[in-house]
Structure 1
Amino acid sequence: MQWLAEICVHRPVFATVIVLFFTVVGGFSFFTLGVDRFPKIDLPTISVRTSNPGAAPEEIETEITDVVEAALNTVPGVEEMRSSSSRGSSNVTLTFNLEKDPDVAFQEIQQKLSTIVNRLPDSADPPVAQKADPDSQPVLQYVISAPRNVMELTDAVETLIVERLESADGVGEVFMWGARQPRVQVSINPDRLRAFNLSVTDVTNAVRAQNQELPGGNLVEGRRTFGVRTMSKLTDVSEFNEIVIATRNGFPIKVQDVGRAELIGAEPTSAASLDGVQSVSVGVRKQAGANTIAVINNVKTRMADIVPNLPDDMRVAVIRDQSEFIENSLHAIQEHLILGGLFAALIVFFFLWNFRSTIISALSIPISIIAAFAAIAAFGFSLNQMTMLALTLMVGIVIDDAIVVLENIYRFVEEKGMDPVQAAIEGTREIGLAVLATTLSLLAVFIPVGFMTGIVGRFMSSFGLTAA
């Protein structure tokens, strides 16, 4: 450290520029850092869900779950596979070893699933694979209530709120709980169906065939070509009652002759209420890697423009806001960081009883912390509880070296009568190796923490590397 001390003493402008360089780079890096509650961790867990409405658990297990398990058994890196079969739904969860890249595992599962789609029941939906992602939790959630039909409320919320929130910067997905989409239900009277010698399949095929739009080819007229399409998509519930199922003795048998069609809500799978009033809840998921605080602020700004234009009977309330937890946690750590720096400077002043020496020692704290923001950005970390905790713990360690070196220089000036320039060089030479050894020993402690394996290692890596 002697050569460094000599350079800084003999070339103060050079030393000042180096310090300002790290400070400016760290300052600009600070504004690019994401803010989150915890570090981002990619869990090597993928779930595959397949739906077959109305099927019994036994049928789900034999016709879907066993087929999916047999196909996914050959995916490399699987440590554990769990499955559950319930009424109308099959769920298979795969846990991979930590060395497996979740994105690669997801692609391999998608390829395996594509080979078994034709082997599943015709009434079953295609399997859907989903990675376990901590970012999939909603960062902000609203509940909208109004004294009106839930289907009408669902349509209003989707049109007035959801579609506008989806375009907010950083929003990955907007979804609804407690919503009921409109659905046409055809109720059949089995006695009348039997009287006309028809089956439920006949009704299903008739509704499917007469409620679709198909391309009708092209119409060529001289140099112009027109596209033709069949306009047979039904738009009103009453039109379903007029669908012809079959012809008996020259008379058409319509849906209204064997039953009735009516508009109902889809089968409810979730429910929401606000103060006892049936409601619809809207959740917002952020894009992967997006700044949580920035996304929430963008959504709140957009929502502030939406609320004044809503009908008078609609009431909007926030029921989940992650920014409150994140900001409270980070503000508490920031407060401890500032107080720790101030108390450390007061202790230096108490023992040295010199304002100039205290200021020099205290400056090492903000300079080191601001410069650390550049390293945090370079490693791809965010400002979260782990990185901020590491910075807080390092406040005392950063000022330790400054106190030791400064106190030794101060001793050379006071006891040996050296001029400050020579005292800075000689004082640093005397204890430079010991200070360097102390710093390297701290690196030896914290760097291994940054390379720990397992889920805990992924959680603690940002803490260890930030502290180092």
Structure 2
Amino acid sequence: MIASFIDWSLRNRFLVLCAALILVGWGFKALRDTPVDAIPDLSENQVLVYADWTGRGPQEVEDQVTYPISVNLQGLRGVRAVRATSMFGFSLTTVVFEDRIPPLEARQRVTERLNLLGAQLPPGVTPLLGPDATGLGWVYQYYLHVDTNAAPAGYDLGRLRSIQDFNLRQQLQSVPGVAEVASIGGFLRQYSVEVNPTRLRAAGVSLAQVMDALLANHLNVGGKTIEENGQEFLVRGLGLLHGVDDIADVPVADRNGVPIRIRDVAVVEVGGDFRRGALDVGGEEAVGGIVIMRNGENAMAVIERVKTRLGEIGPSLPPGVVVRPFYDRSDLIARTIATLKDALVEEVILVTLAHVVFLFHFRSILIVTVPLPLSILVSFLLMRFFGITSNIMSLSGIAIAIGVLVDAGIVMTENVIRHCEEEERRVGRRLGAAETMECTRVAARQVGRPIFFAMAIIILAFV
């Protein structure tokens, strides 16, 4: 079979050349499209499920939220392990699937099972899926820097968190390839109603009445339409609260025709929500965000899109607010790829010089050197087909394999040259084209089979 393939290739050299050119073009396309990262993604095939139950202790969360979720998810097909953690007001479950299960199919199975858990969980608890990302999805992190020259008064952490949540986060999540943008640091601004028990007793009002009044007075309603003089008017009841004064003026009850308002029994102010962490940059508390890349995306391309979007958002930010990165994986990726690229170029140059010194035959140099970039392009084509990213491990394997390719090329070239020289000595003249082709065929058939099996054994060793 190998001998027949050699004979066919020598008879159809034009077709072989066309096939090589097609592989070159296809390989260049794969080279551009193959995802690039610094290190290979060795994380598990997992799906995260989290649920909030505000104010509850870890034991209550474990018994009523974490346990029902983890038990029901264990029965899914393809699940290898289920790990869960219960914290104050929060439950996190990690479902690890077998590697043969596609990530999207795994998320679909988890979603279908979670839809059946509504009756088993406490009211108000809704389990949600985590981002469609892996352990290496954390590709970019930034913080909001305030330039005191442009904004002398500065901004408090609550205002910066609002800018992050409502300006930056929403626009960055629309970037292709971004699974989630997580906000860190600062305070979630909220209106706080601090009830005075003494005033409640004096006014004869219960805490439940205060809560019901706040819920009932924060609502917009519709009243259909009114037609008059050939025109249609919308009827709306506007009751949304817009600030501290609106909340303080909400009536709770009345005594002898005198309304008792929120301000009479409580103090209303703007405060921060309960938090469990902070972001520290240079010894000062700050507000920032973490960009999580979607599973299977190109890290370099996603980071470039994020940077482009941040440049577009910058002019719309309040005066003095500047987005500054403090973790950017593209720098690490660029340095890693540059190092391996230099190593590959140096290796090709050294191989060429070795041929010049030992063989001193120009055509043999081309025969051995030209297949090197072709084999690299074919490698990228296969990497793209099997979903392997271009990282330090895969590129190092290519660099190691170049030595093996050179060895096979040298054996084949040297054997062809030796057969031609022996034939020239035998006939006492230079060989013609037909004679050279016949010597090449005999020499290639002689070493083709051993080279093929040697390469096959080395490939199996890599696998």
What TM-score, normalized by structure 2, do the two folds share?
Answer: 0.85
Tell me by how many angstroms 1:29 deviates.
2.7
Instruction: Tell me which residue corresponds to 1:358.
Output: 365
Q: Is the 8 A contact 1:30 1:374 kept in 2?
A: yes
Code of the residue aligned with 1:84 in structure 2: it is T
Tell me by how many angstroms 1:235 deviates.
0.7
Seen in structure 2, the aligned counterparts of structure 1 residues 144 and 377 have a Cα distance that, compared at 3 Å, is same
Helix, strand or coil for the counterpart of 1:90? strand
Q: Does 1:284 align with 2:291?
A: yes
- The runs of at least 4 consecutive aligned structure 1 residues that moved more than 6 Å come to none
Helix, strand or coil for the counterpart of 1:139? strand
Instruction: Tell me which residue corresponds to 2:84.
Output: 83
Helix, strand or coil for the counterpart of 1:257? helix
- Matching of residues 18-33 of structure 1 within 5 Å: 18-33=19-34
Instruction: Tell me which residue corresponds to 1:453.
Output: none
Seen in structure 2, the aligned counterparts of structure 1 residues 153 and 130 have a Cα distance that, compared at 3 Å, is closer
Q: Does 1:217 align with 2:219?
A: no
Seen in structure 2, the aligned counterparts of structure 1 residues 31 and 83 have a Cα distance that, compared at 3 Å, is closer
Tell me by how many angstroms 1:322 deviates.
0.7
Instruction: Tell me which residue corresponds to 2:448.
Output: 435
Q: Is the 8 A contact 1:145 1:273 kept in 2?
A: no
Distance (whole Å) between structure 1 residues aligned to residue 63 and residue 268 of structure 2: 34
Instruction: Tell me which residue corresponds to 1:51.
Output: 52
CA deviations over 1:332-355 (Å, ceiling 9, x no partner): 121221222222222222221223
> Which stretch has the larger CA shift, 237-246 or 108-117?
108-117
> Which stretch has the larger CA shift, 47-56 or 184-193?
47-56
Helix, strand or coil for the counterpart of 2:130? strand
Q: Is the 8 A contact 1:33 1:383 kept in 2?
A: yes
Equivalent of 2:254 in 241, 247, 263: 247
Instruction: Tell me which residue corresponds to 1:381.
Output: 388
Q: Does 1:347 align with 2:354?
A: yes
Distance (whole Å) between structure 1 residues aligned to residue 76 and residue 282 of structure 2: 49
Code of the residue aligned with 1:391 in structure 2: it is I
Tell me by how many angstroms 1:407 deviates.
0.8
- Matching of residues 415-430 of structure 1 within 5 Å: 415-417=422-424, 419=431, 421=433, 422-430=435-443
Distance (whole Å) between structure 2 residues aligned to residue 45 and residue 39 of structure 1: 16
Distance (whole Å) between structure 2 residues aligned to residue 50 and residue 85 of structure 1: 10
Instruction: Tell me which residue corresponds to 1:326.
Output: 333
Q: Is the 8 A contact 1:53 1:89 kept in 2?
A: yes
Distance (whole Å) between structure 2 residues aligned to residue 282 and residue 369 of structure 1: 38
Seen in structure 2, the aligned counterparts of structure 1 residues 165 and 429 have a Cα distance that, compared at 3 Å, is same
Tell me by how many angstroms 1:128 deviates.
1.8
> Which stretch has the larger CA shift, 53-62 or 252-261?
53-62
Seen in structure 2, the aligned counterparts of structure 1 residues 153 and 420 have a Cα distance that, compared at 3 Å, is farther
Tell me by how many angstroms 1:144 deviates.
1.4
Distance (whole Å) between structure 1 residues aligned to residue 233 and residue 43 of structure 2: 52
Distance (whole Å) between structure 2 residues aligned to residue 416 and residue 154 of structure 1: 83
- Matching of residues 124-273 of structure 1 within 5 Å: 124-130=124-130, 133-134=133-134, 137-146=137-146, 147-158=154-165, 161-220=168-227, 226-273=233-280
Helix, strand or coil for the counterpart of 1:64? helix
Helix, strand or coil for the counterpart of 2:376? helix
Distance (whole Å) between structure 1 residues aligned to residue 432 and residue 294 of structure 2: 56
Code of the residue aligned with 2:130 in structure 1: it is Q
Code of the residue aligned with 1:50 in structure 2: it is A
Seen in structure 2, the aligned counterparts of structure 1 residues 112 and 162 have a Cα distance that, compared at 3 Å, is closer
Q: Is the 8 A contact 2:78 2:98 kept in 1?
A: yes
Q: Does 1:108 align with 2:120?
A: no
Distance (whole Å) between structure 1 residues aligned to residue 86 and residue 290 of structure 2: 28
Instruction: Tell me which residue corresponds to 1:446.
Output: 459
Distance (whole Å) between structure 1 residues aligned to residue 313 and residue 364 of structure 2: 57
Q: Is the 8 A contact 2:144 2:323 kept in 1?
A: yes
Code of the residue aligned with 2:452 in structure 1: it is T
User: Root-mean-square deviation (CA), in Å?
Assistant: 3.0
CA deviations over 1:36-66 (Å, ceiling 9, x no partner): 2344567333332222121122322333233
Distance (whole Å) between structure 2 residues aligned to residue 441 and residue 131 of structure 1: 45
Code of the residue aligned with 2:455 in structure 1: it is L
Seen in structure 2, the aligned counterparts of structure 1 residues 22 and 120 have a Cα distance that, compared at 3 Å, is closer
Seen in structure 2, the aligned counterparts of structure 1 residues 116 and 152 have a Cα distance that, compared at 3 Å, is same
CA deviations over 1:409-431 (Å, ceiling 9, x no partner): 11122222062643443344345
Code of the residue aligned with 1:352 in structure 2: it is L
Tell me by how many angstroms 1:224 deviates.
6.1
Equivalent of 1:368 in 348, 367, 375: 375
Helix, strand or coil for the counterpart of 1:134? coil
Code of the residue aligned with 1:369 in structure 2: it is I
Runs of at least 5 residues in structure 2 that lack an aligned partner in the other structure: 147-153, 425-429
Tell me by how many angstroms 1:187 deviates.
0.4
Q: Does 1:294 align with 2:307?
A: no
Tell me by how many angstroms 1:258 deviates.
1.1
> Which stretch has the larger CA shift, 202-211 or 364-373?
364-373
> Which stretch has the larger CA shift, 175-184 or 374-383?
374-383
Distance (whole Å) between structure 2 residues aligned to residue 105 and residue 14 of structure 1: 45
Tell me by how many angstroms 1:205 deviates.
1.3
CA deviations over 1:167-191 (Å, ceiling 9, x no partner): 5454443332113232001100112
CA deviations over 1:373-428 (Å, ceiling 9, x no partner): 33333333332233322321221122222211211111122222062643443344
Aligned sequence identity (%): 25
Seen in structure 2, the aligned counterparts of structure 1 residues 102 and 333 have a Cα distance that, compared at 3 Å, is same
Seen in structure 2, the aligned counterparts of structure 1 residues 284 and 250 have a Cα distance that, compared at 3 Å, is same
Tell me by how many angstroms 1:13 deviates.
3.7
Tell me by how many angstroms 1:321 deviates.
0.6
Distance (whole Å) between structure 2 residues aligned to residue 3 and residue 75 of structure 1: 51
Distance (whole Å) between structure 2 residues aligned to residue 109 and residue 14 of structure 1: 51
Q: Count matched residues.
A: 449
CA deviations over 1:138-159 (Å, ceiling 9, x no partner): 3111111324211122234455
Distance (whole Å) between structure 1 residues aligned to residue 26 and residue 196 of structure 2: 76
Tell me by how many angstroms 1:11 deviates.
5.2
Runs of at least 5 residues in structure 1 that lack an aligned partner in the other structure: 450-463
Tell me by how many angstroms 1:240 deviates.
0.5
Seen in structure 2, the aligned counterparts of structure 1 residues 222 and 38 have a Cα distance that, compared at 3 Å, is farther
Distance (whole Å) between structure 2 residues aligned to residue 154 and residue 278 of structure 1: 12
